């Protein structure tokens, strides 16, 4: 699966992407906000990431920024089946922070999630990750009343995470008229 947005190209990771992925993500400011990523992040971890099989119902993407010389990996995003629900996650490399790329990628993945028939998506950023919370809110997620403990491999323990959710009114077919954007009818969960 591939997604083209106004500025980005979201695509699956390929085995040859491991070095570029490693260069983009091996930063403690990123890795510490994931539950299952080790710190220090290693080349072996990058190879394992690009070797994971894709799940058609819960796809994951590298976020790339095309230019005249090709494209470069600036982040990652996707859906995952976890604890009986669909969860959303994302990261953007520090040299691309503050450009709106996370929000653009999140909106694209949420449109796809709705097309795939998902009715509710959850996200659980660590409580001290205000930047991720802003991206989620901008994408239409709403904070629930739940704060849960999430283990972080990189942080070496359990830490509070705020629960966010988005619920779609109905599934959508985004293959409508050319030039007409697919806008999900979403409400806070």
User: What does the DSSP assignment read for 125-158?
Assistant: -BTT-HHHHHHHHHTT-EEEEEEEEEEETTTTEE
Residue 161's CATH number? 3.40.630.30
Number of folded domains in the chain? 1
Mean pLDDT (whole number) for 68-90: 96
Closest-CA residue to 25 (of 124, 79, 95, 82): 95
**Is residue 126 within 8 Å of 30, Cβ to Cβ?**
no
Domain around 77: 3-188
Render pLDDT for 4-53 as a digit per residue (tens, 0 to 9): 999 999 999 999 999 999 999 999 999 999 999 999 999 999 999 999 99
**Is residue 78 within 8 Å of 89, Cβ to Cβ?**
yes
| pTM greater than the 0.85 cutoff | yes
Residue 184 has pLDDT above 70, yes or no: no
């Amino acid at each position: 699966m591939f997604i083209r947005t106004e500025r980005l190209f979201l695509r699956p990771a390929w085995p040859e992407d491991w070095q570029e992925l490693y260069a983009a993500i091996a930063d403690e400011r990123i890795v510490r906000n994931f539950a299952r990523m080790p710190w220090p992040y290693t080349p072996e971890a990058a190879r394992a990431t690009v070797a994971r099989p894709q799940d058609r119902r819960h796809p994951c993407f590298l976020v790339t920024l095309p230019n005249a010389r090709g494209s470069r990996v600036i982040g990652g995003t996707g859906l995952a089946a976890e604890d009986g629900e669909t969860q959303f996650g994302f990261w953007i490399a520090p040299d691309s922070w503050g450009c709106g790329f996370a929000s653009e990628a999140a909106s694209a993945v949420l449109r796809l999630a709705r097309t795939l028939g998902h009715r509710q998506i959850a996200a659980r950023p660590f409580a001290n990750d205000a930047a991720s919370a802003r991206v989620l809110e901008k994408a239409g997620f709403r904070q629930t009343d739940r704060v849960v403990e999430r283990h972080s491999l990189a942080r070496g323990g359990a830490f509070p995470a705020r629960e966010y959710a988005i619920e779609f009114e109905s599934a959508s077919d985004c293959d409508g008229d050319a030039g007409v954007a697919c806008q999900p009818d979403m409400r806070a969960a």
